[in-house]
Chain A
Amino acid sequence: MTTLTVPPAVRVTGVRHRFGDTIAVDGVDFDVASGMVFGLLGPNGAGKTTTLRMITTLLPAPPGTIEVFGLDVARHKLAVRRLIGYVPQRLSADGALTGWENVALFARLYDVPRTRRRQVVDSALESVGLADVAGRTASTYSGGMIRRLELAQALVNAPRLLMLDEPTIGLDPIARTSVWERILEVRADTGMTVLVTTHYMDEADQYCDRIALMHRGRIRAMGTPAELKASVDPDATLDDVFRAITGDELRSSPGERMRDVRATRRTAHRLG
């Protein structure tokens, strides 16, 4: 009898990446099962954004080290890009275009057929509560609205894997909840996999099925939030887990670059 093995949504094997002399990712291994919400946690410079960018094909990965639904990202970039939706850390909607045009651009880039495009774009905007302001240029949107617009852009091709880099950084608690609710709704509807990086331990605890805790380019702990907390103390929080693993270290990691910090601050400032 032949056994069919379903490839994980993401398989990362021994991934390393350096920027000049700085080792940003230092031998990372993890699998993300299909349909899961997987969180990469860690401080600035932990290597989580670099890992995410390698999975998205933005940074090069050696052949055989990263697979998305069984496709090697080094060999099948275009095929992999077809399967993913990506929300970068920085606010990336084009302020010179309207909300509708921003989403329609991505519908075209993902080859949503012309006959269905208007309906798909309208539906994506409706689902993030931006249908009423779709005709306004994105430069007039608030930070929370831009994040929801980006979510609509990332979801317009119904991605099998949604990757979000610090999606709620700088958002107020109501906007954070609204973004997460939308992500979880789509996951419940479609079964898509979600890979998210975040600084927020409470958010990871509440929304992630499984967490990898990164520090200085390495995964220091991995498991469900409950498993990670139980490994430290029955009453521990994820903050306690993080402190226990990193030794409560407040020094910046060597991979933390000025540009990254500046970008994070700029995003937080724009979200205001």
Chain B
Amino acid sequence: MSEQLAVPLTGWGRPTPLSLLRLVVSRITTMSLVEVQKLRHDRTELFTRAIQPALWLIIFGETFTRLRAIPTGHIPYIDYLAPGIIAQSALFIAIFYGIQVIWERDAGVLAKLMVTPTPRIALVTGKAFAASIRALIQALVVLILAALLGVALTDNPIKLLGMAALVSLGSCFFCCLSITIAGLALTHDRLMGIGQAITMPLFFGSSALYPINLMPGWLRAFNLVNPLGYEVDGLRGLLIGTPAQLGLDFGVLALASVFMISVASALLVRLAR
């Protein structure tokens, strides 16, 4: 392997916004590809992760549909629940991504990646895309299960694409939130504790399981600042046609994701130290 030694490319000293954008896109593609390669080598994770949403849908959904304990108007409860379970499984996948980043820090992988010419933002966004890929696979499993359980889901490809976009944005936000917490907590144990402490409030503080009008006032207020609430609202609107503020849902999740990517990128450096 007799190679010519590396030389700085023109413009590497002071990258232009365009070259930086190209670099970020290229690195995000690379990091996403790596996640697909990892999934290809070990598919057991996909099956094991599918168990929890399947149980929610089959046991909780079927039981509460028969009980008619939660008023969802003319929509069967299981139809109402299915989009919430998609959002929930995406949240549960993404919210513990910080642990993977801490593991990579401990294994020296993170330091080695950060010494390559890769902007921090690309490393974080690559992780977010990886979380999205896993969440989308989960969403597919839930959609198939829901269809088998007789849920009246849309077959409109545009709406399904919209669902994929919303799930990706939600996963991106929660993955970056997790990396942000990892950057502050710095250890597995602390991150696990914080992750567990915030996951359930985020879940129960959204309309994933029950309509907003059944919530007490303070929980409604929390739902307004809970990105999961916007994700559920959008998914429900797209998949089962309930009234939804799609523009607001997409807008809030997109802005929240951009904000959280920036914060997580800034804090990634703390982990590498």
Question: Which residue from chain A places its CB closest to the CB of B9 in the assembled complex?
Answer: A82
Knowing A79-B12, A91-B108, A127-B1, the reply to whether A157 touches B6 (Cβ < 8 A) is yes
Flag if B106 contacts A90 (CB, 8 Å): yes
B107 touches A189 (CB 8 A): no
Cβ-based interface call for A168 (8 A): no
Q: Is the CB of B112 within 8 A of A92?
A: yes
Query: Which of chain A's residues have a CB closer than 8 A to the CB of B6?
Result: 82-83, 110, 157-160
Assess the A92–B34 pair: CB atoms within 8 A: no
Chain B contacts to A: CB under 8 angstroms:
1-9, 12-15, 26-27, 30, 33-34, 37-38, 41-42, 106-109, 111-119, 272-273
Q: Which applies to chain A's interface (DSSP): helix, strand, loop or mixed?
A: mixed
- Contact digits for A120-160, partner B, Cβ 8 Å, 1 yes 0 no: 10011011000000000100000000000010010101111
* Interchain nearest-CB distance for A124 vs B (Å): 6
- Distance of A76 Cα from B41 Cα, bound (Å): 37
Q: A97-B37, A97-B38 are in contact. Are A81 and B5 (CB under 8 A)?
A: no
Q: Is the interface of B mostly helix, strand, loop or mixed?
A: loop
Which residue in A56, A105, A137, A186 is a CB contact (below 8 Å) of B1? A186
Q: Does A190 contact B (CB under 8 A)?
A: yes
| Given contact pairs A106-B116, A109-B27, A96 touches B41 in the complex (Cβ within 8 A) | yes
- The answer to whether the Cβ of A71 comes within 8 Å of any Cβ in the partner chain is yes
Closest to A192 in B: B5
A189: chain B residues within 8 A (beta carbon) = 1-3
Closest to B273 in A: A59
User: What chain B residues lie within 8 Å of A1 (beta carbons)?
Assistant: none
Asked whether any CB of chain B lies closer than 8 Å to the CB of A198, the reply is: no
User: What's the Cα separation between A123 and B113 when bound, in Å?
Assistant: 21
| Interface presence of A88 (CB below 8 A) | yes
CA distance A91 to B109 in the complex (A): 8
Given the known A-B contacts A88-B111, A101-B34, A159-B6, are A110 and B117 also in contact in the complex, defined by CB atoms under 8 Å?
A: yes
Contact B108 A92 (CB under 8 A): yes
In the complex, what residue of chain B is closest to A137 when comparing beta carbons? Answer: B41
Q: Which of A192-212 contact B (CB under 8 A)?
A: 192
Flag if A58 contacts B5 (CB, 8 Å).
Answer: no
Task: Provide the residues of chain A in CB contact with B7, threshold 8 Å.
Answer: 83, 160
Pairwise interchain contact A155-B1, C-beta atoms closer than 8 A? yes
For residue A51, CB closer than 8 A to chain B, the reply is no
Residues of the B chain whose Cβ atoms lie less than 8 Å from the Cβ of A78: 12, 15, 117, 119
Residues of B with C-beta under 8 A to A109: 27, 30, 113, 116-118
A-B contact pairs, 8 of them (CB 8 A): A58-B115, A81-B118, A88-B111, A92-B107, A94-B34, A97-B37, A110-B116, A159-B5
Beta-carbon contact of B108 and A90 below 8 Å: yes
Contact of B3 among A79, A84, A101, A158 (CB under 8 A): A158
